[in-house]
Chain A
């Protein structure tokens, strides 16, 4: 029953299709279950949360959690919700994502298409950066940032995130470029293309899918980072994750408001979700743009 499609991968029969869709939907349910609990909880009243069934729908339907999380919950230095922390996060996330992705693509390109003696070792050394236990590095980092006058600043935070992100983006890009036939680059060089123009006109146009992977990863990691944000910013300059932490982690002697917590978590995640939806589309576009043909 297998019929061939234009990309060569065979489709199974209707039964197989049902099975494939069934499995995919089952997986979707597993992934969505916690989101369901978060969403319903965010619309419940505190009374219903402490008294009711976890899976019950909100009754009465209450927007208090969302309103408080956005505009009136206490987040440490004041009680105006998460609203103005949003831009704090944007301020360092966007440059750090762009910088680390750019460096990653460049490094990946050099390490695969312009190899030199020891380039594999450089890559190996770079990979160690992905295993760094950040907790232990906070103190030396604070000292270094203090010395170069970047502690407590957006620039400092951008630097830190870029530095620790480059290892990942280099890894992704290198392993993508390694599969690109070297002949492509060689041909360009014979045509007289330089190091930079080969990158610009040959490599970059076919890099969309992996750059999207880099952006998804980096955006997620940097936007959701708490540890660096809490240590290297203060008060009103805190990123949104620190504000969320302050909103959620009441001290051991405080009162918990789960509906506000859940709404706050979803609000915090919105930009990342938007990136996923948008990046996902470019993922596809990167594919249809021709991708890698031998």
Chain B
């Protein structure tokens, strides 16, 4: 603002021109990067899924052969189902725990800084190793079950990790542990941004505390929910390291997810075309799942603005 006072009338057309174009120009670097590194690569991946690419990418057209094979593979459907189960539980639990802890932390808590750091730290640790720790903790003969047994409660059983039907839920436990602290921080930043005079007014009107949260605070956190969901969905579809370190995809391939599928088929098994087909379908599915929310959010924002 200090700069503005020095600009004379002669500078005004330039200024107006700058104000008109600078905002758009400032998006150009991100836009170009986006075009090449996201959309360009998506296009390339889709193309590869239509070729015979195996050990290395090639350009021999194969039609929908890769998709035909993909649909016949049990391991692909297991991966997809796992991502659905994992994704829904992971997002829901992280949001619930994150919001709950953020609200608790927002109650003028002593040592808030320490607690917040404790909740956040799991994100700092490399999953290559924390996966191993969770593997021990969740293993029946090493971890929690054994510990509870040693306390005398020998009937206690917790064998999710070694049960092919339950292992994916064990992955959820470790994954929620990792990310819910960050969601807490996100909500906390959101809570701190809320205009407190609105809350005061509501309380003077006699609204109870839960009521204030439910009808005023939480609705105004809508953009935070949006950020958190995008973030968690993105983490969920990329979940790779944790699953590898925790279960190695096992028992058998019962905890495979599409990211592992793509990596293993694309690089390890030398079936790049199949990996690309998996990636294409996954991106399409995510786009379809997120589109309604995206449109609602963007529309809602615009409408909200008009009011």
Direct contact of A and B (CB under 8 A): yes
Residues from chain B with a CB closer than 8 A to the CB of A125 are 34, 39
Residues from chain B with a CB closer than 8 A to the CB of A139 are 57, 272
Q: Is A122 at the interface (CB under 8 A from chain B)?
A: yes
Q: Is A163 at the interface (CB under 8 A from chain B)?
A: yes
Complex Cα–Cα for A97 and B66 (A): 38
Residues from chain A with a CB closer than 8 A to the CB of B301 are 120, 178
Closest to A144 in B: B36
Q: Is B234 at the interface (CB under 8 A from chain A)?
A: yes
Q: A5-B108, A106-B26, A140-B41 are in contact. Are A166 and B234 (CB under 8 A)?
A: no
Closest to A244 in B: B126
Residues from chain A with a CB closer than 8 A to the CB of B26 are 106-107, 110
Residues from chain B with a CB closer than 8 A to the CB of A63 are none
Q: Is A224 at the interface (CB under 8 A from chain B)?
A: yes
Closest to A256 in B: B132
Question: Which residues of chain A from 250 to 268 have any CB-CB distance to chain B below 8 Å in the complex?
Answer: 258, 261-262, 264-266, 268
Closest to A213 in B: B189
Stretch at the interface among B88-96, B152-160, B162-170, B281-289: B281-289
Q: Which of A132, A136, A264 has the most CB of B within 10 A?
A: A136
Complex Cα–Cα for A136 and B245 (A): 20
Q: Are A269 and B279 in contact (CB under 8 A)?
A: no
Q: Is B292 at the interface (CB under 8 A from chain A)?
A: no
Closest to A245 in B: B128
Complex Cα–Cα for A41 and B39 (A): 45
Q: Are B37 and A164 in contact (CB under 8 A)?
A: yes
Q: Is B137 at the interface (CB under 8 A from chain A)?
A: yes
CB distance from A269 to the nearest CB of B (A): 4
Complex Cα–Cα for A170 and B30 (A): 10
> Within the complex, which residue of B1, B120, B129, B196 is in contact with A38, where a contact is CB–CB below 8 Å?
B129
> Within the complex, which residue of B104, B199, B240, B298 is in contact with A135, where a contact is CB–CB below 8 Å?
B240
> Within the complex, which residue of B146, B212, B227 is in contact with A175, where a contact is CB–CB below 8 Å?
B227
Q: A24-B101, A140-B40, A291-B192 are in contact. Are A33 and B137 (CB under 8 A)?
A: yes
Complex Cα–Cα for A55 and B106 (A): 33
Q: Are B182 and A217 in contact (CB under 8 A)?
A: yes
> Within the complex, which residue of A27, A164, A212, A269 is in contact with B125, where a contact is CB–CB below 8 Å?
A269
Q: Is A209 at the interface (CB under 8 A from chain B)?
A: yes
Residues from chain B with a CB closer than 8 A to the CB of A184 are none
Q: Are A116 and B283 in contact (CB under 8 A)?
A: no
Number of interface residues of A (CB under 8 A): 117
Complex Cα–Cα for A201 and B7 (A): 16
Residues from chain A with a CB closer than 8 A to the CB of B182 are 216-217, 220
Chain A interface helix/strand/loop/mixed: helix
CB distance from B258 to the nearest CB of A (A): 7
Complex Cα–Cα for A135 and B275 (A): 9
Question: Which residues of chain A from 238 to 294 have any CB-CB distance to chain B below 8 Å in the complex?
Answer: 241, 244-245, 248-249, 258, 261-262, 264-266, 268-269, 272-273, 276-277, 280-281, 283-284, 286-287, 291-294
Complex Cα–Cα for A287 and B194 (A): 11
Residues from chain B with a CB closer than 8 A to the CB of A195 are 18-19, 22-23
Residues from chain B with a CB closer than 8 A to the CB of A141 are 37, 41
Complex Cα–Cα for A182 and B305 (A): 9
Q: Is B123 at the interface (CB under 8 A from chain A)?
A: yes
CB distance from A15 to the nearest CB of B (A): 14
Q: Is B231 at the interface (CB under 8 A from chain A)?
A: yes
Q: Is A18 at the interface (CB under 8 A from chain B)?
A: no
Q: Are A131 and B234 in contact (CB under 8 A)?
A: yes
Complex Cα–Cα for A24 and B103 (A): 10
Q: Are A54 and B241 in contact (CB under 8 A)?
A: no
Q: A136-B45, A287-B192 are in contact. Are A24 and B109 (CB under 8 A)?
A: yes
Residues from chain A with a CB closer than 8 A to the CB of B129 are 38, 244, 248, 261-262, 264-265
Q: Is B24 at the interface (CB under 8 A from chain A)?
A: yes
Residues from chain B with a CB closer than 8 A to the CB of A212 are 189
Q: Are B286 and A131 in contact (CB under 8 A)?
A: yes
Stretch at the interface among A70-78, A149-157, A185-193: A185-193
Known: A191-B1, A193-B1, A266-B125. 13 other contacts (CB 8 A): A24-B105, A28-B115, A103-B30, A120-B298, A130-B230, A131-B287, A132-B283, A133-B258, A134-B238, A164-B37, A168-B234, A224-B126, A262-B133
A-B contact pairs, 19 of them (CB 8 A): A28-B115, A54-B137, A106-B26, A110-B24, A120-B302, A131-B287, A134-B238, A140-B45, A141-B41, A179-B220, A194-B15, A194-B18, A196-B22, A220-B124, A224-B124, A262-B133, A280-B113, A287-B192, A294-B198
